Amino acid sequence: MELYVPILVLAVLAAGFAVFSVGIAPFTGPKRWNRAKLDAYECGIEPTPQPVGGGRFPLKYMITAMLFIVFDIEIIFLYPWAVAFDRLGVFGLVEMVLFIVTVLVAYAYVWRRRGLDWD
Amino acid sequence: MNGTIEAPTIEYALLAPMLVVFGAAIVGVLVEAFAPRYLRSAIHLPLTLLSLAGAFALAVWQALKGVPTKPAAMGAVAVDGPALFIWGTILVLAFVSVLLIKDEEHFVGSAAALPGSAEEEQSLVERAAHTEVYPLLLFAVGGMLLFPAANDLLVAFVALEVMSLPLYLLCGLARRRRLLSQEAAVKYFLLGAFSSAFFLYGTALLYGYAGSVDLAKINLALGSVGGQDTLLYIGAAMLGVGLLFKIGAAPFQAWKPDVYQGSPTPITALMASGTLVAAFGALLRVFWVGLGGLDWDWRPVFYGVAILTMVVGAILAITQTDIKRMLAYSSIAHGGFLLVGVIATGSAAQNTAALSGLLFYLVAYGFTTVGAFAVVTMVRDAGGEAWHLSRWAGLGKRSPLLAGTFAFFLLAFAGIPLTSGFFGKYAVFQAAVSGGALPLVIVGVVASAVAAFFYVRVIVLMFFSDPAADGPSVVLPSRGTAAVVGIAALATVVLGVFPQPLLDLAHSAAQSLFVR
Amino acid sequence: MTTHYLVLSALLFAIGGVGVLVRRNAIVVFMCVELMLNACNLAFVTFARQNGNLDGQLIAFFVMIVAAAEVVIGLAIIVTIFRTRRSASVDDASLLKY
């Protein structure tokens, strides 16, 4: 039973933080309403009216989507390493740094070629 | 939870040639990111050439120092005699192909601009260039180095993709006839991805069978695991599909003519030489080392595939009217001749003979094919390279030197004595005869004769027909292209007249066979 | 009982394979290839369980990475040809033949 106490604490903390953030926002945040802000949240696309077949996306979404895939999937190697990084020692650390540097090179290319600019 | 995991031993010195190439590729990406546009090309070219030359020097140094007797990097990569020989071959061929690529006329200025649009005009005016070609090429070459040296199937799969993915992109970057180029890229990509999925499922099934993807352990399991033969046979067959696709063996040859025709010609040259060498190296390693104990089962299949490939390649080549497609079918037929050598296994001495024959053949064919495609880049008319055979009529009367060189390359493809192609075929067929595959050799000789017909037809067309009034012009080659044609012609002559040093080298590389 | 997973993986692979052969839209063809890769992943993980070692699970990670790289390259190529032709049908790409 005691094993679950940390998880419980984490859950309470997480829930508390969420309630706190949402609760305090009306009192501290600036209030500048417009139509877009009052809409239901839908990651950048207009929720209504829903176009037939989901509608078409501008092509520039593709670059963002592709970048997301690349940098998202690199995490997959970080997880196993994070689980055992103390046991892997310096070798694991060095290899991981090398891996991240390689991914950063791709990132630098995207950044310099203005792949991160929206317009 | 607390015991430290022992760090793996990695023989960096052995892997150095690959590391140099990959390192240069990454530096190339940084150059793309940070160097101003006008400097990029000036940095890329020496960087690419120097890294390839450096990697070659490291491979030679390794070979002189002595060939290791066990796989490196915890059994993942085997740097043995054949691998070093193949590395050297790929690096030299890639070096020569880069000289061809240097002439940037071949690549589109802005791949994202629609063909015929104002944007494209703009990119031409600005003399924009995709210098990404160089790092992409280095990544592809790095994959080609890793693929034949991969000693487990996971590394082989990753290497296969590292080799193929940049090539898919490079295929779509032709400056002229962009629709064809893009279509070639889509076809190559979809079919390549399809075939690599087969390779992967085969890997999964063999992993299920043997409990490991290590080639040596799979071979060990062949003798000890019983009752799971279905997994083994289906797995081996699927691996075969993936590998034979990359070689372009029938019935998986359909992509080859389309892709070879649509791609920028320097990239075609690289694919026809480097990719073929790498894929053959990997095929040999997987089937000789990993499934060596199963040879009685895979040999008949390869027997059939080899016959089909030779026949399809030789016969369909006759019907071609496009020079690049004809060379593609010729490449398919040569893949078939090489497969003859793959079957010629037996005793250790027999294996060495077959392997050294194959290695020699790969070098000889690689140089000749790069040279032939280099000539194709030089014969142009208003719309770019003149591909249609009718445009080549009478070329011998206008520029005898170029037509003569091309004729010489074609004769080498046909395997006429005093060219490198003859000794390549001779070494492979001789090994096959002593390996007991006489019927196969007879088919091979007949297919060679059929193939010789269409090579000679092109020669006759070039020298004995009248040139069209508005025929294509032969451009004055850039220094790079001229050097490529020169090197290829020289290699074809020297290997045809004095083949012995390279035969000896191939023999000593093949002496210890593949390490396990 | 790992057999069921293997059967499922083989089915997924076959569905993907048939999809590649019969579908006409390049994007859908490509999705079918991805389905085949995922079928491979399922097989790897199942065999890892069956063989009692972790190799298969580890390989699945690599396959995911490779699949992601393939998505990026594939979409770039397909979008380029779509923009040129206003069509992603593999039947329309028929300039290269004979």
* DSSP label at residue B108: -
* DSSP label at residue B176: S
Amino acid making up residue B153? L
CA-closest candidate to residue C77, choices C63, C93, C64, C91: C93
Interface of A with B in 72-111 (CB under 8 A): 84, 87-92, 102, 105-106, 108-109, 111
**Which other chains touch chain C, taking contact as 3+ CB pairs less than 8 Å apart?**
A, B
Pair B481, B374: CB distance under 8 Å: yes
**Chain B residues with beta carbon closer than 8 angstroms to that of A109:** 29-30, 32-33
CA distance B387 to B409: 17
How far does B3 lie from chain A, in Å, by closest CA? 7
Helix (H) or strand (E) holding B160: helix B153-171
Interface of A with C in 8-37 (CB under 8 A): none
CA-closest candidate to residue B451, choices B314, B328, B335: B314
Task: Find the largest Cα–Cα distance for chain B.
Answer: 83
**Whole-angstrom Cα Rg for chain B:** 22
CA distance B218 to B213: 7
CA-closest candidate to residue B472, choices B406, B370, B378, B400: B378
**Which other chains touch chain B, taking contact as 3+ CB pairs less than 8 Å apart?**
A, C
CB spacing of A112 vs B26 below 8 angstroms: no
CB spacing of A62 vs C79 below 8 angstroms: yes
The token pair that represents B152 in the structure block = 């487990």
Interface of B with A in 34-73 (CB under 8 A): 34
Whether omega for the bond prior to residue B439 falls within 30 degrees of 0, making it cis, is: no
- Among candidates C17, C36, C62 on the partner chain, residue whose Cβ is nearest the Cβ of B154: C62
Give the number of domains in chain B.
Answer: 1
How far does A7 lie from chain B, in Å, by closest CA? 20
Residue whose pair of structure tokens reads 């699945």 in the numeric block: C60
Query: Can you tell me whether residue B380 is helix, strand or coil?
Result: strand
Task: For residue B400, tell me if it sits in a domain.
Answer: yes
User: What is the CATH code of the structural domain delimited by C24-85?
Assistant: 1.10.287.3510
Strand partners, B385: B380
**C4 pLDDT above the threshold of 60:** yes
Question: Which ipTM was obtained for this model?
Answer: 0.96
Task: For residue B7, tell me if it sits in a domain.
Answer: no
Residues B339-378 as b or e (16 or more Cβ within 10 Å = b): bbbbbbbbeeeebbbbbbbbbbbbbbbbbbbbbbbbbbbb
Per-residue model confidence (pLDDT) at position B60: 94
Question: Taking the CB of residue A93, how many other CB atoms lie within 10 A of it?
Answer: 12
Instruction: Please report, rounded to a whole number, the percentage of residues in chain A having pLDDT higher than 90.
Output: 24
- Going from N- to C-terminal start, the domains of chain C cover 24-85
Q: Phi-psi bin for C52: left (phi > 0), alpha (psi -120 to 50), beta?
A: left
For chain B, residues with pLDDT lower than 50 are: 1
Q: Between B400-414 and B479-497, two packed helices, what is the crossing angle to 10 degrees?
A: 40
CB spacing of C65 vs A77 below 8 angstroms: yes
pLDDT band (50, 70, 90) for residue A45: low
- Among candidates B179, B200, B262 on the partner chain, residue whose Cβ is nearest the Cβ of C84: B179
CA neighbours within 13 Å on the CB side: how many for B413?
36
Pair B265, B385: CB distance under 8 Å: yes
Residue to substitute from A91, A95, A98, A110, interface B, most B β-carbons within 10 A = A91
Per-residue model confidence (pLDDT) at position A54: 62
**C58 to A16, B159, C61: CA distances (angstroms):** 37, 17, 5
**Chain B residues with beta carbon closer than 8 angstroms to that of A111:** 33
Task: For residue B516, tell me if it sits in a domain.
Answer: no
What is the count of residue pairs from A and B with beta carbons less than 8 Å apart? 37
CB spacing of C77 vs B186 below 8 angstroms: yes
CA distance C19 to C24: 9
CB spacing of A108 vs B30 below 8 angstroms: yes
Look up the domain containing B389 and give its range.
12-511
CA-closest candidate to residue B196, choices C29, C34, C87, C77: C34
Residue to substitute from A69, A81, A99, interface C, most C β-carbons within 10 A = A69
How far does C65 lie from chain B, in Å, by closest CA? 10
How far does C81 lie from chain B, in Å, by closest CA? 6
Task: For residue B323, tell me if it sits in a domain.
Answer: yes
Taken as a whole, chain B contains a residue count of 516
Helix (H) or strand (E) holding B237: helix B229-247
CA distance B385 to A29: 66
CB spacing of C70 vs B193 below 8 angstroms: yes
**Whole-angstrom Cα Rg for chain C:** 16
CA-closest candidate to residue B231, choices C50, C63, C57: C50
